[in-house]
Amino acid sequence: MLRFGKVIKTDTYLFDTKLLKVHRRHTIKLLLLQAVKTKVTNLPSIAHEESKELPSVGLMFSGGLDSTLLAACLVEVHPGLQIDLVNVSFSPDTAADRITGLFSYHELRR
């Protein structure tokens, strides 16, 4: 059983579980970035090398953890890509998704 912060012995290797936790976090980030890169790279106009311009990509953006993380990944894997963050609201000034979306947008711009 793994206990974080302890050194455990498995067969002939000693593992620092704090390092394992960092490694897992790094692996998850790499897998997520690769998934986003694969999805965007397979768009028809990006996949063809003749096109000099990258198209814009739309992302439904509530400002929550998942959409903010996907937006950040898009920027990291395709820095020149224009990303249109789409937020739908029926009450633009008071809707929670609109407020969260604007806050997350400003955090992404930093």
- Measured at the alpha carbon of residue 93, what is the angle toward residues 82 and 61, in degrees to the nearest 5? 30
- Look at residue 69 in the predicted model and tell me its pLDDT: 92
pLDDT tens by residue, 29-79: 888 888 888 888 777 655 555 656 666 788 999 989 999 999 999 988 888
pLDDT in the model for residue 72: 92
Q: Please tell me the predicted confidence (pLDDT) of residue 93.
A: 75
Whole-angstrom CA distances from 81 to 33, 65, 93, 96, 106 are 15, 21, 29, 28, 18
* 25 pLDDT more than 60: yes
Indicate the pTM of the whole model: 0.67
pLDDT number for residue 61: 92
What is the C-alpha to C-alpha distance for residues 9 and 3, in angstroms, rounded to an integer?
Answer: 12
Task: Decide if 32 contacts 73 (C-beta within 8 A).
Answer: yes
The pLDDT, as a whole number, for residue 46 is: 54
Averaged confidence pLDDT in the chain: 77
Sequence spans of domains, the chain: 7-109
